[in-house]
Structure 1
Amino acid sequence: MSTSPAGSEPTGGAPVLSLDDVWTRLPTAAGPLSAVRGVSLDLYSNETVGLVGESGSGKSMLGRTILNILPDGARVSGSIRYQGKDVRADPRAGNGWRGVEIAMIFQNPMTSLNPVRTIGKQIIDPIRHHLGLAQREAADRAMDLLNQVGVSAARQRLGQYPHELSGGMRQRVAIAIALSCDPKVLIADEPTTALDVTVQKQVLDLMESLQERFRMAILLITHDLGVVAGRADRVAVMYAGEIVEMAQTADLFAQMQHPYTRALLDSVPRLDDPPHVRRPSLAGRPPNLALPLVGCPFQPRCANQQPDCAVEVPALVSVPERSRSFSCHHPVGVHGTAVGGEGRAGHAAAE
Structure 2
Amino acid sequence: MTRINNNPSDRAGSAVTVRGLVKHYGETKALDGVDLDVREGTVRGVLGPNGAGKTTLVRILSTLLSPDAGQATVAGYDVLRQPRQLRRVIGLTGQYASVDEKLPGWENLYLIGRLLDLSRKDARARADELLERFSLTEAAKRPASTYSGGMRRRLDLAASMIGRPAVLYLDEPTTGLDPRTRNEVWDEVKRMVGDGVTVLLTTQYMEEAEQLASEVTVVDRGKVIANGAIDELKAKVGGRTLRVRPADPMQLRPLARVLDELGITGLATTTVDTDSGTLLVPILSDEQLTAVVGAVSARGITIASISTELPSLDEVFLSFTGHRASAPQDARPADTREEVAV
TM-score (norm 1): 0.64
Question: Given the alignment of the two structures, is residue 140 of structure 1 paired with residue 140 of structure 2, yes or no?
Answer: no
Does residue 128 in structure 1 map to residue 114 in structure 2? yes
What is the SS of the residue equivalent to 1:255? Answer: helix
1:89 maps to: 81
Question: What displacement does 1:287 show?
Answer: 7.0
Contact 1:240–1:289 (CA<8 Å) still a contact in 2?
A: no
Query: Is it true that 1:286 corresponds to 2:275 in the alignment?
Result: no
Do the aligned partners of residues 22 and 140 (structure 1) sit closer, same or farther apart at CA in structure 2, a change above 3 Å counting? Answer: same
Aligned: 1:51 with 2:33: no
* Residue deviations 1:27-71 (CA, integer Å, cap 9, x gap): xxxx3432111111111111111111111111111111111224x
1:292-311 to structure 2, matched below 5 A, reads none
Q: CA deviation at 1:221?
A: 0.7
CA positional deviation for 1:118: 3.5
Query: 2:223 is aligned with what amino acid?
Result: E
CA contact (8 A) 1:20 1:41 kept: yes
Shift in Å, 1:251: 1.5
For 2:128 and 2:224, the matched residues in 1 are separated by 39
Q: Deviations over 1:68-127 (max 9, x none)?
A: 224xxx65321111233322114xxx34432x3111111111xx2223343333211232
Deviation at 1:150, TM superposition (A): 2.2
Instruction: State the alpha-carbon separation in 1 of the partners of residues 49 and 231 from structure 2.
Output: 21
Greater fraction strand: 2
Q: CA deviation at 1:259?
A: 8.0
| Separation of aligned partners in 2, 1:113 and 1:89 | 29
Q: Does structure 1 residue 149 correspond to structure 2 residue 144?
A: no
Distance change (3 Å), C-alpha of 1:265 and 1:35: closer
Q: 2:220 is matched with which residue: 231, 239, 258? A: 239
The aligned counterpart of 1:104 is: 92
Aligned pairs for 1:160-199 (under 5 A) are: 160-199=142-181
Structure 1: state its 5+ residue gaps. Answer: 2-8, 269-280, 291-351
| Residues 24 and 34 in structure 1, CA contact (< 8 A), matched pair in contact too | yes
Comparing 250-259 and 115-124, the one that deviates more: 250-259
Where 1:228 maps in the other structure, the secondary structure is helix
**1:295 equivalent in structure 2:** none
Identity of aligned residues (%): 23
2:11 maps to 1:17:
no
* d(CA) in 1 for partners of 2:152, 2:322: 30
Counterpart residue identity of residue 109, structure 2: I
Larger gyration radius, structure 1 or structure 2:
2
- Distance verdict in 2 for CA 1:85–1:141, change over 3 Å: closer
Structure 2 gap ranges (5+)? 239-314, 335-342
Counterpart CA distance in 2 for 1:227 and 1:96 is 31
Question: Which secondary structure does the structure 2 equivalent of 1:219 belong to?
Answer: strand
Q: How far has the Cα of 1:131 moved from its partner?
A: 4.3
- Structure 1 distance, partners of 2:333, 2:221, is 7
Q: Could you say what secondary structure the match of 2:116 adopts?
A: helix
Larger deviation: 192-201 or 79-88?
A: 79-88
> Could you give the per-residue CA deviations for residues 255-292 of structure 1, whole angstroms, max 9, x where no partner exists?
33898542779859xxxxxxxxxxxx96x8537589xx
- CA separation of 1:287 and 1:42: change in aligned 2, threshold 3 A: farther
Q: Which amino acid aligns with 2:115?
A: H
Contact 2:16 2:72 in 1 (8 A): yes
CA RMSD of aligned residues (A): 2.9
Find the aligned partners of 1:266 and 1:288 in 2 and give their Cα distance: 18
Compared CA separation, residues 196 and 39, structure 1 to 2 (3 A): same
Instruction: Provide the C-alpha distance between the structure 1 equivalents of 2:101 and 2:174, rounded to a whole number of angstroms.
Output: 20
Moved more, 176-185 or 123-132: 123-132
Give aligned pairs, total.
Answer: 250
Q: Deviations over 1:181-233 (max 9, x none)?
A: 111111111111111111111110111112111x1111111001111122211
User: Aligned partner of 1:35: which letter?
Assistant: A
User: Would you say 1:216 and 2:216 are equivalent positions?
Assistant: no
Counterpart residue identity of residue 262, structure 1: S
Task: Describe the shift of the 1:75–1:231 C-alpha distance in structure 2 as closer, same or farther (beyond 3 A).
Answer: closer
The answer to whether structure 1 residue 252 and structure 2 residue 233 are counterparts is yes
Q: 1:84 to 1:173 in 2, by over 3 A?
A: same
Distance of 2:164 and 2:101 partners within structure 1: 24
Q: Quick one: structure 1 residues 222 and 185, their matched pair in 2 at CA, closer, same or farther if it must change by over 3 Å?
A: same
Cα pair distance change 1:97/1:289, threshold 3 Å: same
1:325-344 matches, cutoff 5 A:
none
1:262 maps onto 2:250 in alignment: no
> Cα distance 1:126–1:95, how it changes in 2: closer, same or farther (>3 A)?
farther
- The answer to whether the 8 A contact 2:63-2:79 is kept is no
CA contact (8 A) 1:240 1:287 kept: no
Using the size of structure 2 for normalisation, the TM-score is 0.66
Taking the aligned partners of 1:262 and 1:65, their CA distance within structure 2 comes to 29
CA–CA distance in structure 1, aligned partners of residues 333 and 17 of structure 2 = 24
1:76 aligns with 2:68: yes
The answer to whether the 8 A contact 1:238-1:245 is kept is yes
